[in-house]
């Protein structure tokens, strides 16, 4: 089944403990397994148990390996992913993740591997793998533009003298030789910084983890394609001086196994009642929880828009999150029939695939962007964090999406700006360009041939480099 003759690789995968990372890693694992390669997919027991089921045909190729997180002071019990705890406690999860060194050494001592595909957080893994004669590849679930903004591995690790203040950091870096509007907003950087204040000096900065991971690895695999961001991918090759391989955008594939469950049938029934293209779907992924202020402005904006909506709302991140968000008083009563607020998991791809959904309001996480555009649904973006701001600014630059206006310094926005952006993209003649662009992007974001070609090139590289 494997290509390149009968060469079958054994590849271990160790994603960061966040579902926004676990799911793309699993998608890549399934693609490599479909070529006959053996995958050891490593995570904690609770995370593995919560992953989507893989197709029966791939079970012989993907082995899920459960390793326990060490106990860490201030990390709530059973918190094994970012979904399980508020943002200000995520640094403790990174400290726990650093405690996986020993189980990974034990795994390497007892397993014959060709490659380990790792994430940014486990910056210590590359040298350990090298000692065991195993090559490592960093798999970035972020596009090249995000990595490019951080510069070379050394710059990511130790900083840049020209970017010591937040105001300097929002400018286009000096190593970017082409014109670009890509930049984060000040409030996104402030938010990231504030989430780190609760932890002592023992925690290693994300930018250091990223740079050290890239410096130690043998190759960088990026969730991207050349047609999407050619300038940024070429920049990475210059910055890293090592192979940079775009693995494709990993468009979602439909799992038909759960089409008949009761909650989906109920959702489908509600969607069926609405006109084609009239419903806006709202979700901000598992990583992003709005503040109470942001939630209120957003809810009032949805109400003001008059559009039917399906909103997947995370109002609490794990039981240790004591800031439970509340919708405006009588909001659900006033929007009953027109809107649904879902506070549990929802089958996003199936909902967005429905004809009645005419657009997405999203945080601009790459998975949501890919799902929306592979289905030809226009995007309204409301980014909260730095990576989201960078992706959103690039999509706006390329006329692929519209961004809700927010004040740069404090991130404030009005209900009117939410309603206006939604009406523009979903309804108004002036926003027709966004609807047409989304249809045009289907052939890029959902193209299985492009995805297959990227995968073939990656496997060719991994096979030919594994025994040199």
pLDDT for 3 equals 47
Per residue in 243-295, pLDDT (tens digit) is 999 999 999 877 655 555 778 888 999 999 999 999 999 999 877 889 999 99
10-251+448-465 and 259-445 share one fold? yes
Lookup result for tokens 């293209």 = 277
In the three-class reduction of DSSP (H, G, I as helix; E, B as strand; rest coil), residue 15 is classed as coil
Q: Cα–Cα–Cα angle for 354, 358, 361, nearest 5°? A: 105
**Residue 373 to residue 465: CA distance in whole angstroms:** 34
Write down the domain spans for the chain: 10-251+448-465, 259-445
At residue 467, the pLDDT reads: 60
Structure confidence at residue 200 (pLDDT): 52
Q: Which residues of the chain have pLDDT under 70?
A: 1-5, 194-202, 255-260, 467-468
DSSP character string of 394-454: HHHHTTS-EE----TTT----HHHHHHHHHHHHT-GGGHHHHHHHHHHHHHHS-HHHHHHH
Cβ contact 389:184 at 8 Å: yes
The pLDDT of residue 201: 44
Predicted pLDDT at 262: 74
13's enclosing H/E stretch is: strand 10-14
Q: What is the 3-state secondary structure (H, E, C) of 152-174?
A: CHHHHHHCCCCCCCHHHHCCCCC
Contact 364, 386 (CB under 8 A): no
CATH superfamily for domain 259-445? Glycogen Phosphorylase B; (3.40.50.2000)
Cα–Cα distances in angstroms (integers) from residue 94 to residues 29, 49, 66, 75, 204, in the given order? 23, 20, 17, 10, 8
pLDDT at residue 97 in the model: 96
HEC readout, 75-104: CCCCCCCHHHCCHHHHHHHHHHHHCCHHHH
CATH number of 10-251+448-465: 3.40.50.2000
- pTM over 0.85? The answer is yes
Instruction: Please write the tens of the pLDDT for every residue from 52-86.
Output: 999 999 999 999 999 999 999 889 989 999 999 98
């Amino acid at each position: 089944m494997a290509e390149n003759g009968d060469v079958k690789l054994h590849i271990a995968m160790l994603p960061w403990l966040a579902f926004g990372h676990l799911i793309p890693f699993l998608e890549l694992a399934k693609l490599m397994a479909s070529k006959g390669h053996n995958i050891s997919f490593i995570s904690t027991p609770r995370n593995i148990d919560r992953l989507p089921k893989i197709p029966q045909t791939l079970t012989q190729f993907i082995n899920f390996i459960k390793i326990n997180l060490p106990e860490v002071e201030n990390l709530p019990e059973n918190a094994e992913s970012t979904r399980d705890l508020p943002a200000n406690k995520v640094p403790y999860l990174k400290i726990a993740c650093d405690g996986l060194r020993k189980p990974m050494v034990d795994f390497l001592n007892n397993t014959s591997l060709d490659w380990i595909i790792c994430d940014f957080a486990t910056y210590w893994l590359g040298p350990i793998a090298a000692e065991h004669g195993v090559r490592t590849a960093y798999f970035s679930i972020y596009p090249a533009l995000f990595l490019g903004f951080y510069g070379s591995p050394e710059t990511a690790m130790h900083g840049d003298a020209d970017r010591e203040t937040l105001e300097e950091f929002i400018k286009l870096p000096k190593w970017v030789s082409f014109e670009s509007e890509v930049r984060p907003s000040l409030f996104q950087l402030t938010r990231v910084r504030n989430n780190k204040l609760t932890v002592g000096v023992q925690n290693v900065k994300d930018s250091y983890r990223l740079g050290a991971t890239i410096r130690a690895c043998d190759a960088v695999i990026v969730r991207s394609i050349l047609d999407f961001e050619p300038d940024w991918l070429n920049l990475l090759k210059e910055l890293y001086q090592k192979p940079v391989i775009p693995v494709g955008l990993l468009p979602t594939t439909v799992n038909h196994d759960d089409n008949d469950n009761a909650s989906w049938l109920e959702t489908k029934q509600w969607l069926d009642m609405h006109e084609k293209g009239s419903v806006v779907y709202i979700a901000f992924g598992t990583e992003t929880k709005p503040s109470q202020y942001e939630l209120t402005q957003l809810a009032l904006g949805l109400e003001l828009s008059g559009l039917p909506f399906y909103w997947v709302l995370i109002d609490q991140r794990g039981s240790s999150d004591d800031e439970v968000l509340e919708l405006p008083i009588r909001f659900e009563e006033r929007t009953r029939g027109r809107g649904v607020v879902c506070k549990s998991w929802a089958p996003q791809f199936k909902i967005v695939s429905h004809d009645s959904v005419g657009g997405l309001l999203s945080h601009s996480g790459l998975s949501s962007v890919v799902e929306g555009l592979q289905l030809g649904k226009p995007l309204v973006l409301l980014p909260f964090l730095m990576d989201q701001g960078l992706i959103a600014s690039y999509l706006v630059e390329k006329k692929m999406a519209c961004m809700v206006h927010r004040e740069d310094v404090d991130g404030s926005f009005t209900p009117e700006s939410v309603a206006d952006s939604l009406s523009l993209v979903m309804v108004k003649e002036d926003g027709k360009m966004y609807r047409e662009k989304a249809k045009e992007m289907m052939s890029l974001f959902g193209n299985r041939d492009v995805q297959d070609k990227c995968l073939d090139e990656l496997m060719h590289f991994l096979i030919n480099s594994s025994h040199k």
